[in-house]
Amino acid sequence: EVQLVESGGGLVQPGGSLRLSCAASGFTFSNYWMTWVRQAPGKGLEWVANIKQDGSEIHYVDSVKGRFTISRDNAKNSLFLQMNSLRAEDTAFYYCARYLNSGPEDYWGQGTLVTVSS
Amino acid sequence: DIQMTQSPSSLSASVGDRVTITCRASQSISYWLAWYQQKPGKAPKLLIYKASNLESGVPSRFSGSGSGTEFTLTISSLQPDDFATYYCQKYDNYPVTFGQGTRLEIK
């Protein structure tokens, strides 16, 4: 059974940093692109970033470029999102998702909540 | 960037009704469109990919159609479990974007 479990969310002050993790199981992690998608409370979905199987290709939404870094450790079946210079508008549930070879995202974790507030 | 616009934003319907949700792209995305269902407090669930392909395990009352700039999600006979929010997503290239969502409520 495919499982994706996010962790690392919490309350952080504006300008602070946080590192999210996603533990994958039930599939060959190194065979798939992986994605982060976020959702502000009560709002719609926003695609954040994705990363190729070997980490050689990465894409970000403009609003996080230069502040967020996606990475992965295939040996540990883990996906990461390093978030720096956090802003109030980054407050959201962050989901990791598996991306099919020609898209879209088929399996999603249950999300971790990031709250940016003083 | 290509914008995705869903209509309606909300919809009230009854069990057994046939429901159609529309998603329009500001430029052609060929067939690179997906539909997701999301229930409160839960992660999105993939229903349809490549505009009209039913994801494994999804009931056949769900169907998708369209190409280019106009797409539809149809639920042929609403069931109690179908009341949720539905999102379209374009994934032809970057940035990947979602529609604003359609909230389907019980009448």
Residues of A in contact with B94 (CB under 8 A): 59
User: Cβ of A40 under 8 Å from any chain B Cβ?
Assistant: no
Query: How far apart are alpha carbons A6 and B4 in whole angstroms?
Result: 28
- B97 interfaces chain A, CB cutoff of 8 Å: yes
Residue-wise pLDDT for A77-111, tens only, equals: 999 999 999 999 999 999 999 998 888 999 999 99
Residue A117 CB: number of other CB atoms within 10 A?
10
Any idea which residue has 């065979």 for tokens?
Answer: A31
Report whether pLDDT(A31) > 90.
yes
CB A3 within 8 A of CB A24: yes
The whole-number pLDDT of residue A101 equals 81
Check CB contact of B53 with chain A, cutoff 8 Å.
no
pLDDT profile of chain B (107 residues), mean per 10: 96 96 97 97 97 97 98 97 97 96 94
Contacts of A2 (CB under 8 A, 6+ apart): A24, A25, A26, A27, A98, A107
pLDDT at A93: 98
pLDDT of residue B106: 87
Q: Is B49 on the interface with A (CB under 8 A)?
A: yes
Mean pLDDT of A15-42: 98
**Hey, of B54, B96, B102, which one would you mutate to test binding to chain A, going by the most A CBs within 10 A of its CB?**
B96
The string of pLDDT tens digits covering residues A37-63 is 999 999 999 999 999 999 999 999 999
Contact B29, B80 (CB under 8 A): no
Residues in chain A closer than 8 A to B49 (CB atoms): 100, 103-104, 106
Q: What angle is formed at CA B18 by the lines to CA B16 and CA B23, rounded to 5 degrees?
A: 140
pLDDT of residue A118: 95
